[in-house]
Structure 1
Amino acid sequence: MTVKVTLIPGDGIGPEVSAATQKVITASQAPLEWEVVEAGEACIAKYGTPLPEQVLETIRRNKVAIKGPITTPVGKGFRSVNVSLRQQLQLFANVRHLRNLPNVASKYQDVDIVVVRENTEDLYAGIEHKVGNHAAESIKVITREASERIGRYAFELARREGRKRVTIVHKANIMKLSDGLFLESVRNVARDFPDIECEDRIVDALCMNLVQVPEQFDVLVLPNLYGDIVSDLVAGLVGGLGVAPGANIGEMGAVFEAVHGSAPQIAGQNIANPLAMILSGVEMLKYLGFVKEAQRVEKGIYNVLTHREYITPDLGGMSGTQEMALAIVESMEA
């Protein structure tokens, strides 16, 4: 049975890494049909919004999407398309599987961490206002329902993937009500999973521990803001955002994404590293149940990284985006 997937190429280098990903995932022989739609800066002049309603409609219809990076203006301009997608589609779990890859520069060797971030509330709810011209206020929203939901997702993921420990990340020593509620809610969920070890860490201490001995961590579950920051930190431990896949998952569907920026300064030069988006495609295949096809792509990626003949400049090579994608395809059956 063919599965239709929404593809959003994105801004900047997005179309290039999306084309590379489409090539590789199609070569895996997974029975997919691609529905390509546009979102981002290019849509503003045409539709007056970076996120046209038809994009939301196709994702609701197909249930699964994969997107390239989309530019978010800093301090002004339109609201983040990524945040809007997560909230409007109720994609409550942001999930990043972050692990060391062969020959990707890192100070560590055995990092294999899943970061599970609550995606719909906290300070990212976007409830903020100015107080005259002298101050601004943002409201931090933490609810028991959302906290228990993300906690349950983290523990179910740990059990499903054979992981041993979930670490709840918080700042409840200072924000006793909001972060205290998050901690209490996830601890309550933990009681239903006696086979999974549960611990908690204060977020600043966690960051220090990650830099010192990241290998001790397995699954991290965090509120939205901490999750955004810590997931990038963990990506840095294994080589950076260029090798970091991402997924936004809800009860009605999922959007997979490259988590790096749109890098307009190198757009059109065919030098962007496509791995983050290809690895997001691997996660999408696993989500859809196409495990053998996902493993085929992973084999191609590992072969290319091991031999280092066809890799992009940021990884120490001289190949282009599309050349690396083609090498991955050819290495799947090697």
Structure 2
Amino acid sequence: MTTIAVLPGDGIGPEVTDAALPIIAAAGLDWTLEFGDVGWSCWQTEGNPVPERTWDLIDRTDGCLLAAITSKPLREAEAELPVELRGTGVRFVSPVIQLRQRLGLYANLRPVTDYRADTFAFEVVRENTEGLYAGFDYHGLDGELWDLVSNHPNAAASGPADTSVSLRLQTRVGIDRLLRFAFERAVVGGHSLVTLADKPNVLRQSSNFLRGRLETIAADYPDIDFEIANVDAVALWMVKSPGRFGVVVAENMFGDILSDLGAGVMGGLGLASSANIGDGGCYFEPVHGSAPGMAGAGRANPMAMILTIAQLAEHLGEDTAASRIRTAVSNVIRAGTTVTYDLGGSASTSIAAKAIIEELS
């Protein structure tokens, strides 16, 4: 029996979760659901947004659905700690970052599908663990870091105390497993092209290293074409000609930007699902975040959560159920009579979800 950890989280998370979960039974998925705690309320009461009991739940289940979590800046986080924990060095670390690091989830997978007219369907694969988001971000420089940048005229004029620098980390291990994941996705999805989005005309050394690893990995997939393209050009093509892509793969920051652009191309974050996958773990989440200003209003689009369930089903080998769910979502979107405000309708969260369940039935 398949057991799924469900973490409703914060903001609109609980309401989109409640609306979406009935799709599991309607699609004929024999899953047992176990609910856990995560997010801002855990931080406010326990000083830990991912309690150990939640890690235990994740460790003993077959997959994880995370609905939404709230993160706030340093001062606000400190102010909302339990009084007895303030000033003790307890630090808020986003549950998303904790999950990716602790479970080794190096690949973020974002489907970009035209549910209105079926004119494109591609995937963005984003690296999760290194790149410009690896955490090598410094302000106030000294030693070798200052020596590295001091010849830049702006740095020389500002001085080390008023200069910042971020480093883009790229390793053979991180690059190779990401690129291999992208080519495997192309095989599974029947795509004929893998596009590496980078900036080789500016980031010459790191991009050249990346290019070499791409050529090495691509040699193992002779039936799939590959290219390396400037990330800004890829952004333009995604808007003007999304049908040209199969799998787009990029380092952390570039992938972050392109995956949200893909959500806009397909109709908005209300349709955007995602998976975070490693060699031994995974979790799945809609991309829209917790949207605290909308919490409790019943206006949030449940389709991203429903499509996330479909993505999890596919990951677990339930391809037929996943396809049926996506077809039901597409039919409701095309009908246009029971969609939420972001898709031009006036349906509530629950009504939109029920329409998909009825279509599925």
Q: TM-score, normalised by structure 1?
A: 0.92
Asked whether 1:248 is paired with 2:276, we answer yes
Q: Does 1:271 align with 2:299?
A: yes
Counterpart amino acid of 1:113? F
Q: Any idea what SS the aligned residue of 1:124 has?
A: coil
Quote the residue 2:42 is aligned against. Answer: 43
Does residue 1:260 correspond to 2:288, yes or no? yes
Note the 1:116-135 alignment, pairs <5 A: 116-131=125-140, 134-135=162-163
Counterpart of 1:137? Answer: 165
Shift of 1:64: 1.0
2:17 alignment counterpart: 18
CA distance in 1, matches of 2:51, 2:297: 28
Instruction: Select between 5-14 and 179-188 the one with higher mean Cα deviation.
Output: 179-188
The residue aligned with 1:95 is 109
Rounded to whole Å, the distance in 1 between the matches of 2:184 and 2:241 is: 25
Kindly indicate whether the alpha-carbon contact (under 8 Å) linking 1:121 and 1:142 is maintained by their aligned counterparts in 2.
Answer: yes
**Match of residue 354 from structure 2:** 326
Give 1:1-334 correspondences, 5 Å limit. Answer: 2-74=1-73, 77=77, 78-102=92-116, 110-131=119-140, 134-333=162-361
Deviation at 1:41, TM superposition (A): 0.7
CA distance in 2, matches of 1:75, 1:238: 34
Contact 1:63–1:252 at 8 Å: present in 2 too? no
C-alpha separation in 2, matches of 1:102 and 1:211: 16
Structure 2 counterpart of 1:260, one-letter code: H
In structure 2, do the counterparts of structure 1 residues 135 and 84 end up closer, same or farther at CA, with 3 Å as the change threshold? farther
- Report if the CA contact (8 A) 1:6-1:59 is conserved: yes
Offset from partner CA, 1:28-57 (integer Å, 9 cap, x none): 120101111111111112220212233233
Q: CA deviation at 1:16?
A: 0.7
Deviation at 1:311, TM superposition (A): 1.6
Deviation of the 1:183 alpha carbon = 2.4
Structure 1: runs of 5+ lacking an equivalent: 104-108
Q: Which runs of 5+ in 2 are unaligned?
A: 78-91, 142-160
Q: 1:74: how far off?
A: 4.8
Q: Distance in 2 between matches of 1:157 and 1:45?
A: 40
| RMSD of Structure 2 on Structure 1 (CA) | 1.8
SS of alignment partner, residue 209 of structure 2: helix
Q: CA deviation at 1:81?
A: 2.1
- Distance change (3 Å), C-alpha of 1:31 and 1:41: same
Q: Which amino acid counterpart does residue 277 of structure 1 have in structure 2? A: M
Of residues 132-141 and 188-197 in structure 1, the stretch that sits farther from structure 2 once superposed is 132-141
2:268–2:342 contact (8 Å) kept in structure 1? no
Quote the Cα distance in structure 2 between the aligned partners of 1:311 and 1:163.
30
| SS of the residue 2:60 aligns to | helix
Give identity over the alignment, percent: 38
Code of the aligned partner of 1:93: A
What is the TM-score of this pair, normalised by structure 2? 0.86
1:75: Cα distance to partner?
A: 6.9
CA distance in 1, matches of 2:174, 2:230: 20
User: d(CA) in 1 for partners of 2:48 and 2:69?
Assistant: 13
- Superimposed CA distance per residue, residues 221-258 of structure 1 (whole angstroms, 9 cap, x where no aligned partner): 11111000011111111111111111101111211110
Contact 1:170 1:183 in 2 (8 A): no
1:242 aligned partner, one-letter code: G
Runs of 4+ in 1 over 4 A off after TM superposition: 74-77
User: What CA distance in whole angstroms lies between the structure 1 residues aligned with 2:188 and 2:58?
Assistant: 26
Q: CA deviation at 1:295?
A: 2.5
What does the per-residue CA deviation read over 1:148-196, in whole Å, with 9 as the maximum and x for residues that have no partner? 1010011111012211000111123222233332222122100110000
Residue by residue, what CA displacement relative to the aligned partner does 1:53-107 show, whole Å, maximum 9, x if unpaired?
A: 332332222141011121222576433321221111111110011111127xxxx
Q: Distance in 1 between matches of 2:215 and 2:101?
A: 25
- Counterpart CA distance in 2 for 1:298 and 1:332 is 9
Cα pair 1:242 1:260 within 8 Å, conserved: yes
Q: What amino acid sits opposite 1:39 in the alignment?
A: V
> 2-side partners of 1:124 and 1:47: how far apart?
28
